[in-house]
Amino acid sequence: MAVATERLAELVSAESPEAIVGEILDRARTALAAYENGDQARVDEAVTALAWSVYKPEHARELAELAVRDTGLGTVESKIIKNTRKTFGTLRDLMRVRTVGVIEEDPARGLVKYGKPVGVVAAVCPSTNPAATPVNKAMMALKGGNAVVIAPSPAGYQTSARTVELMREELKKAGFPEDLVQILPAPVSKASTQALMAGADLAVVTGSQDNVKRAMASGTVAIGVGAGNVPVIVDSSADLDDAAEKITASKIFDNSTSCSSENAIILLDDIYDAAIAALERQGGHRASADEKQKILGGLWVGGKLNREVIARDMAVVADRLGLSEAARDARFVMVEDDRPGRDRPLSDEKLSLVVTVYRARDFDHAKQLVRDILEVKGKGHSCGIHTADPDRARALAAETDVVRVLVNQAHTFGNGGSFNNALPFTLSMGGGTWAKNSISENLNYRHFINITHLVTTIPEDKPSEAALFGGYWAKYGQ
C-alpha cells in the first residue's frame, strides 16, 4: 500500500490526470479480479462491511462533524441522521436481493437470469453529502460485484477521503481487497474527474449538472440525475397542522441541502390564511415586503446562489441578508410571490431555509403552478401534495412530468426512500428524459449489474391472426 501511495504522489506531482487515473483503475481491476464476486454471501458481507464503516455511531458522528467543518453546509445532527438512516435503509434493500450468479428463474417462460458485474464504477459525489453519497454508491457498486472509485467534490474532499478510509479499513477486516473502494487523490480537478469517467466502465454522477453533462459526453455508459426544485401543494382537504409539521421537518433538515427539500409551497385560496398560520406555528416566518427585497438582493449574487447563505443556520441567513430579529429566531422564512417564471428567482432552487409561497385560485391552478415551477428548474425530479382526496393526488401524478409524487409525506425523508413507502433508499434520484437522465427511478442495485439471459424453448405461444387483428378488423375493416 505504501508503494502504491508513493507512486500516486509522484503522479500527482507530475500533474498528469490520465496517469493518476490509469494507476487507480489498474489497482481497481486487480482488486476486482480478487473479489469473490461470484459468491452472493461474500458479496453481501462486503456490502455490510461498507455499511457498518459509516453506520457505526462514532464514525457517523465523526463524518458528520467533519462534513460541516469541511463544507460549511448543513448541520451535524442532520448529517448523523443521513449517514445512519440512508445507510441502514440501503443495506435493508440490498440484503433482500440477489445480484450475482442466478438471480431469477422462470421455468414457465424458459428463462434463467444471471447477474454479472459492470466492472469499475466512477462515482461522482457532491459536497452536500460528502459521506452519505460515497458509501451509498459504494454499497450498490460492490453489491453488483464491482469496484468503485469515488470522485468527490473538492469542497467536501476531506470528508469523502475519511469515508473511503473507513470503508477500506472495514473491507480489509473482512478479508476483501481494499482497492475495491478508492478515491481520486487531491487536488481533485475537472480533468481528473473527466479522465476517471472516461476510463471507467460505468459513470454514476450526482450533483453538478455540469458533471452530469460531461459524463454523458465521456464515451462511458453514464447515469446522471437531475436537479431538484420541489413544489408541494397543500390542498383544501389537507390536515393543515400535519402538513405544516411535515413541510417544516423536511425544509429545515440539514438546512435544506437536499435536492428533495421543498422549494415552493402552493396553498389553495380557501385555506391560504389558515395554512400560513399553521406554518407559523411550526416556526415559519412570513417575510415582509422589505425582507423579500433583501432576500432577492442577497440570496443570489451575480445570478448564482450566495454560498454565504445557502445551507446555513437561520441566524446566519438573517444576519447575512439583514432580516429582522423575528426572522433570525425562526426556523425558516416564507416569501410570498404571485407567479413563477424564469424572470422570477424565487421560483428557482434555493438550497436554503427560504421557501416560496404561492396562492392558487383552485386545484387546477395549483397543478399549473407546479408545472410552471418545474419548467424553471426541476422538471422530472419530484413534487408533492398534502390532501385527503386520493383523486387529486392521482390527477397531479397523471398531469405532471415528474418521476415521484409524494402524498402526505415530509419530502426530504420520503423522496430518497423511506421505511414507510416503497421507494428504494438512495441519495440519487433520476428524473427521466424530462431531466435528460437515463433513469426514471431512484438509483438502485439494478443499475450496477449486467444480466445474461439463458433462454430455453417453451410450448409455442403464437395467437391466431383473428385474436390479434379481430378487434381492428371489426372496427375499420381489413
CA–CA gap between residue 261 and residue 332 (Å, rounded)? 12
DSSP3 helix / strand / coil % (the chain, rounded to 5): 50, 20, 30
The amino acid sitting at 114 is Y
* Domain presence at residue 422: no
* Residue 133 forms part of a structural domain: yes
320 assigned to some structural domain: yes
CATH number at residue 114: 3.40.605.10
Asked if 199 and 344 sit in the same domain, the reply is no
**What is the reported pLDDT for 14?**
54
133 and 221 in a common domain: yes
String of DSSP letters for 106-154: EGGGTEEEEEEE--EEEEE--TTSTTHHHHHHHHHHHHTT-EEEEE--G
Task: Tell me which residue of 142, 68, 11 sits closest to 313, measured CA to CA.
Answer: 68
For residue 468, is it within any domain?
A: no
Same domain, yes or no: 314 and 447: no
Q: What is residue 5's predicted lDDT score, i.e. its pLDDT? A: 53
Residues 62, 171, single domain; the answer is: yes
Rounded to the nearest 5°, which phi and psi values hold at 32? -65, -35
How many other CB atoms sit within 10 Å of the CB of residue 32?
A: 20
Asked whether residue 91 falls in the same domain as residue 182, the answer is yes
Which of 232, 259, 346, 370 is labelled catalytic? Answer: 259
- The CA distance from 176 to 328, in Å, is 50
How many whole angstroms separate alpha carbon 196 and alpha carbon 123? Answer: 9
Q: Active site includes 383?
A: no
User: Do 208 and 244 sit in the same domain of this protein?
Assistant: no
Name the domain count of the chain.
2
Q: Which three cell numbers stand for residue 447?
A: 443499475
Contact 141, 147 (CB under 8 A): yes
29 and 80 part of one domain: yes
> For residue 313, how far is the Cα from the chain centroid?
22
The answer to whether position 434 is within a domain reads no
- CA 293 and chain centroid, separation: 31
Residue 168 falls within a domain, yes or no?
yes
The verdict on 12 and 88 lying in the same domain is yes
Q: Mean pLDDT per 10-residue run, the chain (478 residues)?
A: 52 72 97 97 98 98 97 97 98 98 98 98 95 98 98 96 98 98 95 95 89 85 93 98 98 96 98 98 98 97 94 97 97 98 96 98 98 97 98 98 98 97 97 95 97 98 97 97
> Do both 214 and 192 map to the same domain?
yes
CA distance 279 to 274: 9
Residues 158 and 236 in one domain: no
pLDDT of residue 229: 97
367 inside domain: yes
Q: Indicate if 236 and 217 belong to the same structural domain.
A: no
CATH number at residue 308: 3.40.309.10
**Contact criterion met (CB below 8 Å) for 354 and 332:** yes
Q: Which residues form the domain of 365?
A: 230-416
Structural contact between residues 313 and 68, judged by C-beta atoms closer than 8 angstroms: no
Are 372 and 268 found together in one domain? yes
Cα separation, 201 vs 204, whole angstroms: 10
In the numeric block, the cell 409551497 is attached to 265
Instruction: Tell me which long-range contacts 108-111 makes (C-beta under 8 A, separation of at least 24).
Output: 108/458, 109/458, 110/455, 110/456, 110/457, 110/458, 111/453, 111/454, 111/455, 111/456
Is there a domain that residue 423 lies in?
no
